């Protein structure tokens, strides 16, 4: 089953790269009390047919490479309201299958987005997890934006963990630099600094 899923994803990757319409590269660094200790590069494509591909590293687990494929559905011509269901696979420290969905809504200067996934680990069932990243922001002019964010993680047979936080961002043309501060008023606070480059 895992081998079949990998073959299907590779075929989708080939089709997506041939019919590319737009894409982006993201890279996130995480810092906590011990310093900067992880980075997470993410590459994504979307074709004219709204087929979607995402590849990422260190996202599902350290030293783990993940690929996901899906399709974006828009509810208006400007793509202000979208939903992207996805299916993926992970290789490395964590080996498993992922079912996920991205949702985004933009109303004037307000933006709301979520990324949710369930990952089933083949090599260690206790590493299976549910994860959601949600954020709501307001765009101030063309350059700055800010808002609130939340991470939710639930490992197999473990209690849910919630990480609320704030976000600030800087945008110039097709480059954005977001800064997230999670659990800002607690000792276990941590920071995520990103850089996002979009092209079309």
Residues 6+ positions from 170 with CB-CB distance below 8 Å:
143, 144, 176, 177
More confident residue, 32 or 74: 74
As for how many domains the chain has, the answer is: 1
Residue 24 belongs to domain with CATH number: 2.40.160.40
**Phi-psi domain of 141 (left: phi exceeds 0; alpha: psi -120 through 50; beta: other):** left
Containing structural domain, residue 18: 2-199
- Rounded (to 5) percent helix, strand, coil in the chain: 10, 65, 25
> Are the C-beta atoms of 44 and 27 separated by less than 8 Å?
no
Taking the C-alpha atoms of residue 161 and residue 132, their distance in angstroms, rounded to an integer, is 11
Residue 7 reports pLDDT greater than 50: no
Cα–Cα distance for residue pair 153/16, rounded to 1 Å: 30
Rounded Cα distance, 157 and 135, in Å: 26
Q: What average pLDDT does the chain have?
A: 89
pLDDT range class, residue 6, cuts 50, 70, 90: very low
Question: Please, which pLDDT band fits residue 200 given cuts at 50, 70 and 90?
Answer: confident
Catalogue the long-range contacts made by 177-184 (C-beta closer than 8 Å, 24 or more residues apart).
180/149, 182/149, 182/151
Q: 128: closest CA among 119, 137, 136?
A: 119
Quote the CA–CA distance of 81 and 112 in Å, as a whole number.
10
Does pLDDT of 26 surpass 70?
yes
Residue 16 has a CB neighbour count (10 Å cut-off) of: 21
């Amino acid at each position: 089953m895992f081998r079949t899923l990998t073959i299907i994803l590779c075929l989708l990757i080939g089709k997506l790269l041939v019919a590319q319409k737009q894409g982006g590269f993201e890279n996130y660094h995480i810092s906590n009390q011990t310093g900067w200790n992880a980075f997470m590069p993410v590459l994504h494509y979307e074709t004219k047919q709204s087929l979607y591909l995402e590849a990422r590293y260190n996202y599902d687990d350290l030293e783990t490479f993940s690929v996901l494929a899906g399709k974006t559905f828009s509810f208006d011509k400007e793509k202000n309201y979208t939903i992207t269901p996805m299916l993926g696979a992970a290789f490395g420290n964590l080996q498993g299958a992922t079912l996920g969905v991205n949702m985004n809504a933009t109303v004037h200067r307000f933006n709301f987005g979520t990324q949710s996934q369930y990952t089933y680990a083949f090599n260690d069932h206790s590493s299976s997890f549910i994860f959601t990243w949600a954020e709501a922001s307001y765009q101030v002019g063309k350059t700055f934006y800010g808002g609130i964010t939340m991470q939710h993680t639930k490992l197999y047979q473990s209690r849910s963990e919630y990480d609320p936080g704030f976000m600030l961002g800087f945008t110039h043309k097709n480059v954005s630099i977001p800064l997230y501060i999670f659990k800002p008023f607690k000792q276990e606070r941590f920071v995520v600094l990103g850089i996002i480059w979009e092209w079309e």
